[in-house]
Chains A and B, each alone.
Chain A
Amino acid sequence: MTPQTLTSPAQLDALRKRLIERRQGNKTIVTICAGTGCLACGCEAVANAFREELKEGRLESIVELRLTGCHGFCERGPLVVIHPDEIFYQKVKPRDVKLIVDQTIKGGKLVNKLLYKDPQTKQVIPHEREIPFYKKQMRLIFGKNGHMDPTAIGDYIVLGGYSALPKALRMTPEQLIEEIKKSGLRGRGGGGFPTGKKWASCRKAKGEPKYVICNADEGDPGAFMNRSLLEGNPHSVIEGMIIGAYAIGSHDGYVYVRNEYPLAVTNLSVAIKAAREHGLLGKNILGSGFDFDIEVSRGGGAFVCGESTALMASLEGKIGEPRAKYIHTVDAGLWDKPSTLNNVETWANVPLIIEKGADWFASIGTDSSKGTKIFALTGKVNNTGLVEVPMGITLREVIYDIGGGCPSGKRFKAVQTGGPSGGALVVETRDEAVHESLVAHGDVREDEYAQSLLDLPVDFDELAKAGSMMGSGGMIVMDQDSCMVDVAKYFINFLQDESCGKCLPCREGLRTMLTILTRISEGRGEMADIDTLEELSQVIMDTSLCQLGGSAPNPVLSTLRYFRQEYIAHIKDKRCPAGVCKELVSHAIDETCTGCHVCSDPCPTNAILGKTKELHVIDQSKCIQCGACYQVCRFNSIQRVKRGEGDAVQARAKQLWKPHVTPRETAAVA
């Protein structure tokens, strides 16, 4: 079918009607998640198996196979959902496909072994919407992802896509800006600046042409919601940008996207081309007389380019150094012209607000933060993936109800939000060790317990008040195995590496902080180092040119605040309580060893000795503390103890160890 150029809203409606009519019928639809997570788990092989199986069974005319964008539950991939019944199959292998086709598609029965089983209640849950991971979510932005092929503009139109655009084009730009202001939408990139206000300033700014820019340089480690949106629903971002451009009076748009996201680049480019062919981009959009087009620009991989002025420099083909913002980018941004830069998720919210109205949008969330926010829930949590929740939900609900808590029964320690620059920690302040640190820090009295920060509502201002921040939406959960000195060192190392080097406090200050943190993590620190870290942090925050430096010391300050005792343990006792800092740790095998040999194979120095089904021992003189054995042991038998204490642990293990009788042997004896 050659695409038809739509020259009026009526033609768009007619097209939508035709597409919907063509889809009606009793077709079974098999959707397979083809987001990056599921692709990595092998969803392509599953899709191929479906193609073959459907062809063989001559089912192609009654069953439609659709490769969709990310469903969010990456932990359980590859995901297959059978519509209209919404039967949710997880961890599907190519060999399972025949079973699904025979039993579910032909026979109408469920394949039990592929259904989701609640780890806590052991209950089997057949439908996507009833799974706890999805139940508490409010998938306004992400909802369409699982239902459409991102490369098919028709799928988006059928689901109501591009219906906000004609509505917006009928309004005046001023009315449109007023509507966005009324909705209370705030920037989803981390800053939380009111979007309507930004648009209004840019509209008023003198100078032509004006630019709209989509920031898809998602450099924050631990955040990938923008990637999934661009990969899974690029048209929602395009529609948002067209509406924004109309409001501001711009005719040129740019999407600055990371080159590390090849699928996002491809899907976005395909979507832009289709929108152009349909008359939704280009000259005289839908016969309104408004012109607008979008260009895709691939970034070069520099974290600092997420900063607005650095991003614009990079768009101009220069090195991505930020500039001081005495003059805002809405007045003089790209090529010194008025520019509006919004994040991917912010743009995707725009069509929704126009379609359903500002009042509807403003009814979701808290007083100061409206709508939903997408979080990337990762790290030491059972259900990793992307979750979209209404503002105002508590972190406890996100981590425990949706995320299912920490795996292997380990103790929750902290959750890091806001990416490295601004990366603050939210901790369980009722935890004993944290309480001790807070008392030492002078935050609370010894007999008074602080309110648990996990019960804070997710809200721009509430989080900021508690010394944390919303950020772009990375939520990295850490458990008892994470060392906070190591975490601080990790972030400072990341930031000093990514510092563009333009201003001195960030370039030299962070490097010095890294030297000190490295010293502490290697057991060579002094108590005075803590004071130096705090002093340096203050100077860097006060004097850096941009927010990369301005917020860089946050991880150090927040770990010092909540986990000061861990720093002191490293400095005074030469001990890493979490057993992470290599120089302070010895690996040892305790009496729970089953002699299964799994640990000795990956050992690079052959330091693990022991016969099968007998207690294994780590030769302390050979061990290089690489942690390979700790990673593979299924019985938690490898202990990470204070350096030098490994032999003592193993000597005790030798006394206590008993041969393990496995169930199979018992059966054989009986």
Chain B
Amino acid sequence: MSAVMTNHHSLDQIVGGIVSHYEAKPTALIMVLQDVQKQFRYLPVEALKLVAQKMNLPIAQIYGVATFYKTFSLKPKGKHHICVCTGTACHVRQAPVIVDNLERSLGIKAGETTRDGEISFETVNCLGACALGPLVTMDDKYHGNMTVAKLNKALDDLRGVRPAHTPLEEEA
């Protein structure tokens, strides 16, 4: 259960709220970081420092955990998130073809974010819906039995819902 925040709160309040939700228990460190990441779509260094301070843990341990587990990212992620399952069942049903095509159409490698900050794309080892492979999730929506043709359509749909312009695009 993640603690609910609004944008008006300062970083200190947000992190403080999450940490106290888990009663600052050291066992909850991974879940605290998951909730922080949910708020910011990545783990900002300032937030990690605050977690260390509020949980009374060495920053080295926080950094260790934040870089050890796959879930965490120290770099900002895109507004939309695409995940291609590359588990064994998906692999034998041609998931690599899907990954190749996605890399080409987005112009980024797995694990990167498009320059406009819109779409992040990564591969994951198994999503546990192996019967539907190859499987792709887009913003947590599952798309089973993926083909290149379906992928292109789903990508258009995903791009279609994005706002007309974003501050990042204006800069570019």
**Interface contact B132-A476, CB-CB below 8 Å:** no
Within 8 Å of chain B (Cβ to Cβ): is A63? no
**Tally of A-B Cβ pairs under 8 angstroms:** 173
Q: Which B residues are in CB contact (< 8 Å) with A269?
A: 1
Is A302 within 8 A of B92, CB to CB?
A: no
CA distance A41 to B143 in the complex (A): 8
B69, B126, B140, B152 pick with most chain A CB within 10 angstroms: B126
In the assembly, what is the distance between CA of A487 and CA of B149, in Å?
Answer: 25
Number of interface residues of A (CB under 8 A): 64
What B residues does A219 contact at CB under 8 A? 125-126
Contacts of B16-43 to chain A: CB distance below 8 A: 25-31, 33-34
Cβ contacts under 8 Å, B104 to chain A: 604, 626
Q: Does B45 contact A (CB under 8 A)?
A: no
Picked from A320, A379, A500, A627, the residue with its CB within 8 Å of the CB of B88 is: A379
Nearest Cβ in chain B — how far from A374, in angstroms? Answer: 13
Measured between beta carbons, the chain B residues less than 8 angstroms from A187 are none
Chain A 301-318 interface residues, beta-carbon cutoff 8 Å to B: 301-303, 314-318
The listed residue (B29, B128, B148) touching A631 by CB distance below 8 A is B148
In the bound complex, what is the Cα–Cα distance between A490 and B92 (angstroms)?
A: 10
Q: Are B131 and A37 in touch, CB under 8 angstroms?
A: yes
Identity of the chain A residue whose Cβ is nearest the Cβ of B62 in the assembled complex: A317
Q: Quick check: is B14 within 8 A (CB to CB) of the other chain?
A: no
A218 touches B128 (CB 8 A): yes
Residue B101, interface by CB 8 Å: yes
A43 smallest CB distance to B (angstroms):
11
A380 interface contact, C-beta 8 A: yes
**Residues from chain B with Cβ under 8 Å of A650 in the complex:** none
Cβ-closest chain B residue relative to A261: B128
**B64 x A319 contact (CB < 8 A):** yes
Contact with B along A99-131 (1 / 0, CB 8 A): 000000000000000000000000000000000
Partner of A317, one of B28, B133, B135, B152: B28
Task: A300 to B131: give the CA distance in the assembly, Å.
Answer: 24
Distance of A373 from chain B, by nearest CB (Å): 17
User: CB < 8 Å: which of B69, B87, B127, B129 contacts A320?
Assistant: B69
Question: What residue of chain B has the Cβ atom nearest to residue A625's Cβ?
Answer: B100
- Which A residues are CB-close (under 8 A) to B57? 317
Contacts of B114 in A (CB 8 A): none
Complex: how many Å from CA A378 to CA B129? 10
Q: Are B132 and A37 in contact, CB atoms less than 8 angstroms apart?
A: yes
Residues B127 and A300 in contact, CB atoms below 8 Å apart: no
Interface contact A379-B92, CB-CB below 8 Å: yes
Min Cβ gap B110→A in Å is 12
Asked if B126 contacts A220 (CB within 8 A), the reply is yes
Tell me which residues across on chain B come within 8 A of A476, comparing CB atoms. 88-89, 92, 130
Q: Per-residue CB proximity of A211-243 to B under 8 Å, as 1/0? A: 000000011111110010000000000000000
A-B contact pairs, 28 of them (CB 8 A): A37-B131, A41-B132, A218-B128, A221-B89, A222-B130, A223-B126, A224-B126, A261-B128, A297-B27, A297-B30, A297-B31, A300-B33, A300-B71, A300-B72, A301-B70, A301-B71, A316-B27, A318-B65, A377-B131, A380-B92, A384-B132, A385-B131, A476-B88, A602-B147, A604-B105, A627-B94, A628-B97, A628-B148
3 nearest A-B pairs in the assembled complex, by CB-CB distance: A300-B69, A221-B87, A74-B131
